[in-house]
Amino acid sequence: MAIREIDPRDVAALLAQGSVFIDVREEHERASGQAEGARGIAKGELERDPATHLPDRDASIVLICQKGGRSMDAARVLEAAGYSRLSSVAGGTSRWIEEQRSVVMPALSAEARDFNERYSRHLLLPEVGVAGQQRLQRSRVLMIGAGGLGSPAAFYLAAAGVGHLRIADDDVVDRSNLQRQILHTEARIGEPKVSSAQATLAALNPRTQVEAVQERVTAENVERLLENVDVVLDGADNFPARYLLNDACVKLGKPLVYGAVQRFEGQVSVFDAGRHRGERPCYRCLFPEPPPPEFAPNCAEAGVLGVLPGVIGLLQATEVIKLLLGTGETLAGRLLHFDALAMRFRETRLRHDPDCPVCAAGRPFPGYIDYAAFCRAT
């Protein structure tokens, strides 16, 4: 017997005759309302073990999803499993609601409802879904700097549902910061940047725990800051911090998401040599030695277009999320350049340096150095 595609108005008569009515959408989709009389069983769960949910293969079964496609696909799977009286609701729940038919709200805890509503657009992505969103929720990220790069990155990592953000910065909010450091406000001038960041992000997503660390990263505290984190985001605006973070991440096997901005140009990459010794490059493979200070002024000396850190910081946040989810192709082994004036991206391939003093295969960690002196000496 062929699978019947029925209109929503036909469902009531079938239910009166004893049909089983099943909504095959995911729990987060059903959270906003489902057709009255329907029982929620996610499509994947139903298809994995139909006999557990539908022991009678001769029963009349009516399936509904959001638009009608998934319910028809599920019906075909059930037909192949020996079920013979199958119907799929054309137009699905969307049409059901358009026709103003009765809808019920499933009983969910406040926690589950918040999760489903807050991350609903993520949950629709197969590359994220419930499992991926829960993985983000369990993740811990260290952000060095709550300034131009850290501001947009922190906003989007918190919004995305990263469970724990540890933000380290020893600076205070200054009026000159507000042109690009969007975590902060006029009212918080003079406050520690990490406290300002904590207040802003708590207002955005109270599910994200923000750990404010009012410290500058040093060789003495770097391993404590990296403790128990999954990914490190470099929002520092100086070379000593970049080399220190690189060395620590190689030693401890943490992926490092690098970003830098100056005037109208920015760079982004992922340095993951700690987990892939002898295969992927580290920051020292790209820059064995820092450039002389006169060729690499910081933003306070050279200036920066206010929106530029937003572009670079968002690219960094994107790479962090991909690393946490284990999906997509990261920038490991590639340096992405952005020219805001030309509105042009270009990419440089990076290679591992087999003689790198820090990440060469089999080479013991050489120890931390005086990074400030190292950068001054060039």
Q: Is residue 176 part of a domain?
A: yes
Residue 20 confidence (pLDDT) above 90 = yes
For residues 265 and 108, which has the higher predicted lDDT (pLDDT)? 265
* This prediction's pTM: 0.85
The pair of structure tokens assigned to 344 is 């042009």
Q: Is residue 117 part of a domain?
A: no
Q: Is residue 123 part of a domain?
A: no
Structural domain including 243 reads 139-376
- Asked whether residue 100 falls in the same domain as residue 163, the answer is no
- Asked whether residue 238 falls in the same domain as residue 309, the answer is yes
Average pLDDT over residues 198-215: 98
CA 189, CA 202: separation in Å to the nearest integer?
A: 19
Q: What is the pLDDT of residues 212-260, one digit of tens each?
A: 999 999 999 999 999 999 999 999 989 999 999 999 999 999 999 999 9
Q: Is residue 180 part of a domain?
A: yes
Mean pLDDT of the chain: 94
Residue 266 confidence (pLDDT) above 80 = yes
- Asked whether residue 210 falls in the same domain as residue 355, the answer is yes
- Asked whether residue 156 falls in the same domain as residue 281, the answer is yes
- Asked whether residue 312 falls in the same domain as residue 177, the answer is yes
> To which H or E segment does residue 283 belong?
helix 283-286
- Asked whether residue 146 falls in the same domain as residue 95, the answer is no
- Asked whether residue 37 falls in the same domain as residue 95, the answer is yes
- At residue 32 the predicted structure's pLDDT band, cuts being 50, 70 and 90, is confident
CA 312, CA 331: separation in Å to the nearest integer?
A: 13
Residue 109 confidence (pLDDT) above 90 = no
- At residue 293 the predicted structure's pLDDT band, cuts being 50, 70 and 90, is low
- Asked whether residue 224 falls in the same domain as residue 370, the answer is yes
pLDDT value of residue 124: 87
- Asked whether residue 79 falls in the same domain as residue 204, the answer is no
Residue 378 confidence (pLDDT) above 60 = no
Average pLDDT over residues 331-359: 96
- Asked whether residue 155 falls in the same domain as residue 276, the answer is yes
CA 108, CA 42: separation in Å to the nearest integer?
A: 16
Q: What is the pLDDT of residues 65-96, one digit of tens each?
A: 999 999 999 999 999 999 999 999 999 999 99
Q: What percent of the chain has pLDDT over 90?
A: 87
Q: What is the pLDDT of residues 37-52, one digit of tens each?
A: 999 999 999 999 999 9
pLDDT value of residue 373: 87
Q: Is residue 11 part of a domain?
A: yes
Q: What is the CATH number of the domain that holds 19?
A: 3.40.250.10
CA 13, CA 10: separation in Å to the nearest integer?
A: 6
For the residues of 70-86, what is the DSSP string, one character each?
HHHHHHHHHHHTT--EE
Query: Sign of the C-alpha dihedral, residues 9, 11, 14, 16?
Result: negative
Is the CB of residue 25 less than 8 Å from the CB of residue 43?
yes
Residue 13 confidence (pLDDT) above 70 = yes
Q: What is the CATH number of the domain that holds 286?
A: 3.40.50.720
> To which H or E segment does residue 226 belong?
helix 222-226
| Domains of the chain: total | 2
pLDDT value of residue 297: 62
Q: Is residue 10 part of a domain?
A: yes
Residue 146 confidence (pLDDT) above 60 = yes
- Asked whether residue 97 falls in the same domain as residue 187, the answer is no
CA 350, CA 288: separation in Å to the nearest integer?
A: 13
- Asked whether residue 264 falls in the same domain as residue 158, the answer is yes
Q: Is residue 112 part of a domain?
A: no
Q: What is the pLDDT of residues 154-197, one digit of tens each?
A: 999 999 999 999 999 999 999 999 999 999 999 999 999 999 99
Q: Is residue 128 part of a domain?
A: no
Torsion of CA 146, 286, 231, 244, to 10 degrees: -60
